[in-house]
Chains A and B, each alone.
Chain A
């Protein structure tokens, strides 16, 4: 079974709709992240959470919100989707600093299209 799962894997929605992307992990990591990936722009950090009570904005948080429901679950919401939010979205996790697991482990991605 995959360590980091994302649902849905593909989603097409319309402008103005609210949409939630979900991420679950079985790696036991405290740190979780949401990225978006666009052609030519690479990975950009949207939000990150170092534990259940900690939420931080990344470089492109406008138009997004997150919820850390449990250590293993981190959801990303688009309150009112717009076409330029069409992208590939990745959830990632990492372990405590100092070991090999402090690198990031990525989920399979959600391909989101906003019409």
Chain B
């Protein structure tokens, strides 16, 4: 079992839908949780960064961490075709190098 599990998709939704992207993990020591967005033929870019459990909101994006369930989510409201990309979760403990999920491909069609 990988330390971080992420469904590769693709996840296809109509424009305007609420999107839910998820990762599960096995290492209870993880403290910092990130979401990266990667457009085709580009490098991953940091989208959300959270510490410990709880929610964090940034515009149309909400990151949620449930440490008791070892489960993190990224919600995208009012999804747009420009949100079509691969979303990677990442997490780490302390100053260790992050562990990445394999990424979920999201397609938002007009």
A: residues with CB less than 8 A from B are 4, 33, 40-43, 45, 48, 90, 92, 97, 100, 102-109, 111
Contact = CB atoms under 8 A, between A and B. Distances in A.
Contacts, number: 43
A100 B49 contact: yes
Given A40-B102, A104-B98, 15 more contacts: A4-B43, A41-B102, A42-B102, A42-B103, A43-B88, A43-B100, A97-B95, A103-B34, A103-B46, A105-B46, A106-B43, A106-B45, A108-B42, A109-B41, A109-B43
Nearest to A44: B100
Interface in B58-104: 88, 90, 94-95, 97-98, 100-103
Nearest to B45: A106
Tell me if A's interface is mostly helix, strand, loop or mixed: strand
Given A97-B95, A100-B49, A103-B49, A108 B101 contact: no
Tell me if B's interface is mostly helix, strand, loop or mixed: loop
B8 interface: yes
Interface of B: 6, 8, 32, 34, 36, 41-46, 49, 88, 90, 94-95, 97-98, 100-103
A97 B49 contact: no
B97 A33 contact: yes
A107 B94 CA distance: 24
A90 B41 CA distance: 11
